[in-house]
Amino acid sequence: MQIRRLGLALAAPAVIYIAIFLAFPLLYNMYLSVTDASGANLISGSLPFVGSENYAKVLGNPDFWDSALLSLIFTVSCLALQYLFGFVLALFFRKPFPGNGPIRALLLVGWILPPVVTATIFRWMFDSDYGVLNYFMMSLGLTDEPVRWLSQGSTAMLAVIIANLWVGIPFNMLLLLSGLHLIDETLYEAAAVDGASRWQQFTNITFPIMRPVSISVLLLGVINTYKVFDLIYTMTRGGPVNSTTTLPIYTYLETFSFFQFGTGAAASAVTLILPLTLSYFYVKSLNEEER
């Protein structure tokens, strides 16, 4: 009994934290999503109950589905490239060589910096008048005139994807590198004795053993990329002409620019479905790894 009480006492701070900072905001958001909450209503304190009307408005709004498509493009593009380049870099840094540590530390700068700082750096780099990217492209003769990276829809999404890759690739590399260090070197030595090529060693040893780590990296990558807000908002504010308005940006604009708190809460509730589902599978995959 005393052990049980001690366990409850030790768990109490975590339970209180979850109740205050996670459960209450989530439940309050769900409450707002079924009310006609606007700026005027919140001030007056009167929040008429509207049921599923806000959800119908959100799901019937073409802008919401455009944002969902942009979120899909942004997430899938970043996820595939982050994993691919992260894996290549992890394989490269697996073997010790002079300068391995300092170079890895430099690569991690992109992941360590706050997203707002990263976004500001890339905003300057992609600037059509002063940006270093246009300077090099014009110096190399790749273009005759500056590219308006952030002010035209065809290139704005590409710019925010490149900026997010700078953040995500080091994170993927770290996780995959930690997994590579767990592979027994004798497996490669035995394969080399049997005449296996480097590619055969990768496809028959490295990749199968790295499968659980890869699943965790990809699940975390979807969750982290899908919810990116500050980097995109700092670089483009969701523009031009909504070309970078992903679901988090759409929810923010609906809530704090148009002051439609009810439909904004409904949009955020719908947006939560994917990360919550993936979080379940991530925890499930961790439990399977521990068995």
Q: What is the pLDDT of residue 290?
A: 64
Closest to 74 in 3D by CA, of 228, 190, 287, 215 = 228
CB 159 within 8 A of CB 122: yes
Closest to 248 in 3D by CA, of 79, 64, 123, 112 = 64
**200-236 burial string, b = 16+ CB within 10 Å, else e?**
ebbeebbeebbeebbbbbbbbbbbbbbbbeebbbbbb
Helices 153-180 and 211-226, axial angle in degrees (round to 10): 150
Residues in the chain with pLDDT values less than 70 = 1, 289-291
CB 232 within 8 A of CB 249: yes
pTM for the whole structure: 0.88
Q: For the segment 60-100, what is each residue's pLDDT rounded down to a tens digit?
A: 999 999 999 999 999 999 999 999 999 999 999 988 888 88
Q: What is the pLDDT of residue 1?
A: 64
Q: What is the pLDDT of residue 279?
A: 77
Q: What is the pLDDT of residue 291?
A: 65
Structure tokens at 264: 């904004």
Backbone Cα Rg of the chain: 24
Alpha carbons within 13 angstroms on the beta-carbon side of residue 34 total 7
Q: What is the mean pLDDT of the chain?
A: 88
